[in-house]
Amino acid sequence: MSALIDPSELQHEIEIRWLEDPEKLDYVRQVLDRLSSRKGRPPYHRDGRMVGYAILGPEAKASPASGTWRRRVFWLAPHDRDQQPAGVYAFGAPSEAVDPSTIAPTVKGEKTERSQGGPASPAMIELGITLPRL
């Protein structure tokens, strides 16, 4: 989940490789996976589809215990807003969802009004919480 991604775990990213145009997506799900390589397209084992992934530089070291690297993978589930605009995420978004326009190498994605499906809720406004506008 994006809230649990420690920015220090992104320090060796050198590229985000998109498989789909991120400008056409309101949000993507962001997760750190343990992968068998630091570069190249990783295998994908979730329901839905992978839409992007991070490439790590040569200074990134594999875990001594598992021999794997932690890399970000961006994905969408079949019931996400891009496939079902009037579905469960017509408003709001999954907890790990971030706006793809806020993603860059070494930069954790952020939630925005775009990713959350509209302007801030009355409760957020009452608490003084705002999301960045795009």
**4-50 pLDDT tens trace:** 788 899 999 999 999 999 999 999 999 999 999 999 999 999 999 99
pLDDT above 90 (res 57): yes
Q: Is 117 exposed, middle or buried (0-12, 13-18, 19+ CB in 10 A)?
A: middle
- How crowded is residue 16: how many other Cβ atoms within 10 Å of its Cβ? 19
| Conformational region of residue 117, where left means phi above 0, alpha means psi within -120 to 50, and beta covers everything else | left
Per-residue pLDDT band at 2 (split at 50, 70, 90): very low
Whole-Å CA distances, 15 to 30, 41, 77, 99, 115: 15, 12, 23, 17, 22
d(CA 131, CA 134): 10
Per-residue pLDDT band at 96 (split at 50, 70, 90): very high
Phi, psi for 12 (deg, rounded to 5): -100, 5
Residues in the chain: 134
SS3 of residue 113 by DSSP: helix
d(CA 33, CA 11): 15
